[in-house]
Structure 1
Amino acid sequence: MQLTNDTVERIIQEVLARDILAGLPGARDSRAPASAGSSGTDPRLVPVGVSNRHLHLSRADLEALFGPGAALHRMKAMKQPGQFAAEETVTLKGPKGSLAKVRVLGPVRPETQVEISIADGFALGIAPPLRMSGQLEDTPGIEIIGPRGRVCKERGVIVAQRHIHMPPDIAARLGLRNGQVVDVEAIGERGGILHAVAIRAVEASALELHIDVEEANALCLRNGDTVRILTP
């Protein structure tokens, strides 16, 4: 096949455009997706995980909602080791309204924790604080309705603070420590800076930024997109 000058110029322009795009934070090459934080890649690049409303149940509450001896049935593995989305769902009922088909995540925990968005709080008629997972002091309660029963929790509802799960070796490379707060940059048509992103540098972690649906929509981010940590 004979190549015309116009064809050659078009090919060159396409190659240049692809190479420029590949160098931008947040760009993904579908032919060979890199693992953020691995050898030869920028450890500041972090994949995004968008979290919808969900809850973690204690053993006692699981059995109260789904029956004695109930167990969670694994539907899909989560990126964080050992965690999974279960087939089981519940209804959350607040003073103002209800939210149906809220997914349970496993495994069971010592205490039930419900994670919703700010807009979900408006719909339910409650105002949960912004908290890290496990920080349940002075949080509002909720009624949880399952197929075999219901429980009324006096506390346990939070809006999850955005955070990055990070293996300790990557944290060390970046000079970061567990509990530190950083800024994160998203590139794109609605890109911006996310402030006050907490670092969770613990063993058995997979590198991932966790944000809720509202935060993701504000920046047009989806699962698997890439953002950059702005190191201090």
Structure 2
Amino acid sequence: MKIPIEISARHMHLSKEDFEKLFGKNQTLNSIKNLSQPGEFASDKVVEIINKSKKIEDVRILGPFRKNSQVEISMTDAYNLKLSPFPQIKVSGDVANTANILVRNKNNSIKAPCIIARRHLHASAKEAKKLKLKNNQNISIKIGGIREVTFHNIIVRVSEDFKLALHLDTDEGNAAGIAGKTFGELARKG
């Protein structure tokens, strides 16, 4: 079974409370583009993330709101921001014991946990069953092409709300030479 590969650029998830701190209670999180995972979208709101004199502008807010806010960046972003302590590689949503970064828009700022998202495979229960995969299982996926690579330590995330897709960050996508629509294949089940 071919597995669609998607590259996830730096972005931020916000709780409703933090959204209101940054943008105000009268503002709304409006979709400008639906993402591949059902119900998820890129919003019309952006922020900048700051570490001392280093910053990255136009970090897109993704919706819908989450229980906890978090910033997701690549290792390259972390190096460019000169972050110390260096962000941990974690499953999205796991913000326990995570260092914060300053997040700012035109008028307000907050501190939010900052992680490098662990590569992961989204799958519905039906897709996971077809591939003989279980939630939280570690797998490997091979991506062919001129820069053929096999990614290991991919965590499987199963939910009825998910659609089959491997999510890599921009560093991983660039290393594999991914441009445009790309597919991989299951190489190993852990």
Q: Is this a same-fold pair by TM over 0.5?
A: yes
- Indicate if the aligned counterparts of 1:48 and 1:222 stay in contact, CA closer than 8 A: no
Residue 139 in structure 1 maps to residue 98 in structure 2: yes
> Post-superposition shift, 1:216?
0.4
Tell me the residue number matched to 1:12: none
**Following TM superposition, where does structure 1 have runs of at least 4 consecutive aligned residues deviating by more than 6 angstroms?**
none
For the residue of structure 2 that corresponds to 1:105, the secondary structure is strand
Indicate the structure with greater strand content.
Answer: 2
Farther off after superposition, 95-104 or 207-216: 95-104
- Backbone CA RMSD of aligned residues: 1.2
Residue 94 in structure 1 maps to residue 51 in structure 2: yes
Tell me the residue number matched to 1:213: 170
Tell me the residue number matched to 1:117: 74
Tell me the residue number matched to 1:52: 9
For the residue of structure 2 that corresponds to 1:189, the secondary structure is coil
User: What amino acid sits opposite 1:69 in the alignment?
Assistant: N
**Partners of 1:75 and 1:64 in 2: how far apart?**
22
Matched residues, percent identical?
32
Residue 173 in structure 1 maps to residue 133 in structure 2: no
User: What amino acid sits opposite 2:108 in the alignment?
Assistant: G
Tell me the residue number matched to 1:73: 30
**Partners of 1:96 and 1:214 in 2: how far apart?**
23
Alignment map for 1:172-191 (pairs within 5 Å): 172-191=129-148
**Partners of 2:126 and 2:25 in 1: how far apart?**
42
For the residue of structure 2 that corresponds to 1:108, the secondary structure is coil
- Distance change >3 Å, CA 125–CA 96, structure 1 → 2: farther
Q: Deviations over 1:67-105 (max 9, x none)?
A: 222211111000101000001100101135100010000
Farther off after superposition, 185-194 or 140-149: 140-149
User: What amino acid sits opposite 1:139 in the alignment?
Assistant: T
Indicate the structure with greater helix content.
Answer: 1
Tell me the residue number matched to 1:157: 114
TM-score (norm 1): 0.78
- Indicate if the aligned counterparts of 1:64 and 1:148 stay in contact, CA closer than 8 A: no
**Partners of 2:134 and 2:177 in 1: how far apart?**
29
TM-score (norm 2): 0.94
